[in-house]
Amino acid sequence: MKLLFDLFPVILFFVTFKYAEKSPELAADWMASLLGFVPDDIKLAPILLATVVVILATIAQIIWVRVRHGKVDKMLWVSLVLVVVFGGMTLAFQNEAFIKWKPTILYWVFAASMAFSAVVLKKNAIRAMLGEQLTLPEPVWARVNLSWIAFFVVMGVLNLVIAFNFSTDTWVNFKLFGGMGLMLVFVLGQGMLLSKYVEEDK
């Protein structure tokens, strides 16, 4: 359930784009109603409308978390700032390149924050999250943390490759299913590698 909630803005972005892609003219009409302008290029209407929706959905997500739990995770704030900035530039310049950069910047922010924490603050972000559930040797914690940093770096690069070498439709599919699928595979791989330590601990 939490996974669906975390993916709520991305799912709405996907659904809006797919629906609007079937009728760019209708998407342009909605843009006119929402923002008071029609895109110069009607073909951009679906991605622009989806961008409006993902901005509103992310804001709604933040409000819900704030009301429900009283505290919003820092990474949710980072995601909000990025989607508003890059989404806003997408709308202002009517250029889909900006929103396509957003996932990469988010992945790289994750990687950079984890690396900074490990190198400068001498804190392992993964151990901070899982330390109560797992007991691992220090070198293993370090490798796990490094593997997550590498994963986020690679995901950022892969997003750019898909975004600027394939159609927008392909990128939208990858943004939801590709990103989620690769994350799942990576997590399962991590679980298999760490399972022996769980058994030893038992």
Chain segment 117-136, per-residue pLDDT in tens: 999 988 998 888 877 777 78
Q: Which of 118, 121, 120, 122 is nearest to 144 (CA)?
A: 118
- For residues 60 and 106, state if they share a domain: no
* % of the chain at pLDDT higher than 90: 63
**Residue 164 above 70 pLDDT?**
yes
Domain boundary (80, 95, 110) is at: 95
* Same domain assignment for residues 8 and 78: yes
Average pLDDT, the chain: 90
State which of 54, 70, 95 marks the end of a domain.
95
Question: And the tokens for 150?
Answer: 């590498």
Residue 136 and residue 58 share a domain: no
Same domain, 72 and 151: no
Q: Where are the alpha helices (DSSP H) in 70-137?
A: 74-93, 97-119, 125-130
Closest CA to 7 of 77, 64, 54: 54
The pLDDT value given to residue 4: 63
The verdict on 190 and 117 lying in the same domain is yes
Q: Which pLDDT score is estimated for 200?
A: 52
Shared-domain flag, residues 113 and 84 = no
Domain count, the chain: 2
| 3 and 77 share one domain | yes
Residue range of the domain that includes 73: 1-95
Highest mean pLDDT out of 4-8, 182-186, 191-195:
182-186
Q: Are residues 169 and 116 in the same domain?
A: yes
Q: Where residue 50 falls among pLDDT bands split at 50, 70, 90?
A: very high
Distances, alpha carbon 185 to alpha carbons 43, 136, 179, 192, in Å: 34, 22, 10, 11
Residue showing tokens 């997550």: 148
pLDDT of residue 128: 85
Among 95, 113, 146, identify where a domain stops.
Answer: 95
